[in-house]
Amino acid sequence: MQKKGFLERLIGLPRTNPRLLAQLIFVFIGVIGLAVFWPRVITPPTIPYRDEHEKLLIQQTVAYELAKTTIEAQRTLWRGFAVTVLMVGLVDLLTTGLGKLVAKRERRDFEQFFGREVTQPKGGSVAVFNSPTVAEQHLDFGNAPAAAKNAKAVAEGIQHVVPYEDLRATLEISRQFEHFESRMDIAVDEKFKDIWPEGQTVIAVGLGFNAVTARIALLKPGLFHVYYNETTKAGSPTDGFSIGPAQEKYQSIPNYDHALFARVVEEATERVFFVCAGRTAEGTEAACHYLAHHWKDMLRLYRTRDTSGNKHTITESLVMMLRHVEGKPDHVEECRHIFMP
């Protein structure tokens, strides 16, 4: 491993950083300029004189006063330039340093909430989707060119179909992870039916048809429950959810839909798992949106004491019931949250 230089150890910036180099050059020029042009007594020029009386007369001549004024004006100008350069360098250096400290704190919060795996070089996270398989002849490409429809052509090699809403929602989470230089992979649930990915934080996307969501629910029994006695608008049975040991269900509200968010901490390893799911595909998108944009708010919940005076630890599991405006998954808010040790 390459040995870090003093500046790199001091403020955590690489020695090859162009901005840091520019800052140091500005500071150097400013310091040197102040040292050279700092106000001081000007030595009058040496002029031969015959006696002290003549010396006083010479020192009071207009030429000498003009020379002294000109020299001091030049020094004042250069001194002002040096101060300006020094201040620019110091302010920019201070701004960078404070930004570095804020980014370091945000990264520490990010790792605390999402798990230590997310910041590891070979770690990161993996978003896991349910994996419906569709026979080639049953795929309906409604916007395919007319020539493809007339030929009754079929797409070959498609093994899994992932809902567009799930992918769009996962991209929002991925953008947040990119801010912290954390990698996010995607996978289908059949890959992790029996094993967990090594060194990665798992985010299950989808409710009752995702095998990984069901596995995560078993890690913390009673945190949330998935059932299948809900009804679609077409009248078919579908999945729903409840939260907490009391299995609290959502209350139907006109023009609103509900979603589930869970942060599950495995007791033995303190490894963190997430579930973003909804009654509908839009609900799943809303849960992902909430995680992407409100994870800091949820972290503050952990640090805030509840009504009984208890302060929750980051190793507790958290489940939330969310609701969003139908057709607007980004208009999402919390209805209820429950912590479980």
Distance CA 54, CA 130 (A): 103
- Cα torsion for 263, 266, 269, 270, to the nearest 10°? 30
Q: What is the C-alpha separation between 55 and 65, in angstroms, rounded?
A: 14
The segment with the largest mean pLDDT, out of 83-92, 257-266, 323-332, is 257-266
Q: The whole model's pTM is what? A: 0.72
Mind listing the pLDDT tens digit for each residue in 200-223? 999 999 999 999 999 999 999 999
Q: Are the C-beta atoms of 93 and 154 separated by less than 8 Å? A: no
Q: What percent of the chain has pLDDT over 90?
A: 27
For the chain, the structural domain boundaries read 6-114, 116-340
Question: Of 149 and 61, which is predicted with more confidence?
Answer: 149
Helices (H), 125-239: 146-150, 164-179, 211-219
Most confident option among 86-100, 140-154, 227-241, 296-310: 227-241
pLDDT at residue 258 is higher than 80: yes
- Residue-wise pLDDT for 181-200, tens only, equals 888 999 988 888 888 988 89
Distances (CA, A) of 292 to 57, 173, 261: 82, 5, 12
Q: Name the residue type at position 193.
A: K
Count of Cβ atoms closer than 10 Å to residue 244 Cβ: 17
pLDDT of 220 reads 94
pLDDT per position as a tens digit, 300-326: 988 886 666 666 788 899 999 999 998
Q: According to the model, what pLDDT value does residue 162 have?
A: 83
